[in-house]
Chains A and B, each alone.
Chain A
Amino acid sequence: MSLWRKIRKTGRVAEPAPERPTGEAPPEAAKLGGSVQFRHVDAGSCNGCEVEIGSVFGPVYDAERYGARLVASPRHADALLVTGPVTRNMEVPLRRTYEAVPEPRFVVAVGDCARDCGVFAGAYGVAGAVGDVVPVDAEVPGCPPEPEAIIAALRRLTGR
Chain B
Amino acid sequence: MTGLSSAGLSSAGLNAAGPDAVGLIATVLQVVLVVVGAPLLTGLMRQVRARMEGRAGAGVLQPWRDLRKLLRKEPIDPRGTGWPFRLAPLVLAGTALVVAAVVPLVTTASPLDSAADLFAVTALLALGSVALALGGLDTGTAFGGMGASREVTVLALVEPTILVSVFALSVRAGSTNLGTIVGLTEADPMRVLSPASLLAAVALALVTIAETGRIPVDNPSTHLELTMIHEAMVLEYSGPDLALIEWASAARLTVLLGLLGSLFLPWGVATGGAAGMGALVAVLVGVAAFAAKTAVLGMLLAAGEVFMAKLRLFRIPELLAGSFLLALLAVAASYFLAGGA
Q: Show the binding face of A for B, using Cβ within 8 Å.
A: 3-4, 7, 10-14, 17, 31-37, 59, 62, 64-67, 69-73, 75-76, 78, 100, 102-104
Contact = CB atoms under 8 A, between A and B. Distances in A.
B235 A65 contact: no
Contacts of A67: 58, 62, 65
B228 A72 contact: yes
B54 A59 contact: yes
B238 A35 contact: no
Given A76-B242, A104-B73, A65 B52 contact: no
B310 interface: no
A12 B228 contact: no
A56 to B, nearest CB: 12
A33 B68 contact: yes
Contacts of B50: 62, 64-65
Contacts of B53: 59
A151 B58 CA distance: 14
B235 A75 contact: yes
Contacts of A59: 53-55
A34 B59 CA distance: 11
B180 to A, nearest CB: 40
B234 to A, nearest CB: 8
Interface in B135-158: none
B54 A13 contact: yes
Interface in B216-241: 222-225, 228, 231, 235-239
A31 B65 CA distance: 11
Contact of A103 (B57, B74, B224, B236): B74
Contacts of B225: 72
A70 B55 CA distance: 16
A62 B231 CA distance: 23
Interface of B: 50-59, 62, 65-66, 68-69, 72-76, 78, 222-225, 228, 231, 235-239, 242, 306-307
A33 B55 contact: no
B54 A14 contact: yes
A17 B59 CA distance: 14
Given A17-B56, A104-B73, 19 more contacts: A3-B307, A7-B306, A10-B54, A13-B54, A14-B56, A31-B69, A32-B69, A33-B72, A62-B55, A65-B55, A65-B57, A67-B58, A67-B65, A72-B222, A72-B228, A75-B238, A102-B74, A102-B76, A103-B73
Nearest to A62: B55
A75 B59 contact: no
Given A75-B242, A76-B242, A65 B69 contact: no
A100 B79 CA distance: 11
A35 B66 contact: yes
Nearest to B236: A75
Given A35-B65, A102-B74, A104-B73, A14 B55 contact: yes
A100 B74 CA distance: 11
Nearest to B54: A13
Contacts of A102: 73-76, 238-239
Contacts of A62: 50, 55-57
Given A35-B66, A102-B76, A104-B73, A72 B58 contact: no
6 contacts: A7-B54, A12-B55, A35-B62, A72-B223, A72-B228, A73-B235
> Considering the complex of A and B, which 5 residue pairs feature the smallest CB-CB distances, nearest first?
A13-B54, A75-B238, A35-B65, A73-B235, A65-B56
Given A17-B56, A64-B58, A78 B73 contact: yes
B54 to A, nearest CB: 4
Contacts of A3: 306-307
A13 B54 CA distance: 5
Contacts of B72: 31, 33
Given A3-B307, A14-B54, A67-B58, A78 B69 contact: yes
Given A13-B54, A34-B65, A35-B65, A72 B231 contact: yes
B54 A71 contact: no
Contacts of B65: 33-35, 67
Contacts of A71: 223
A12 B56 contact: yes
A64 B236 contact: no
Contacts of B306: 3, 7
B54 A12 contact: yes
Given A32-B69, A75-B76, A7 B52 contact: yes
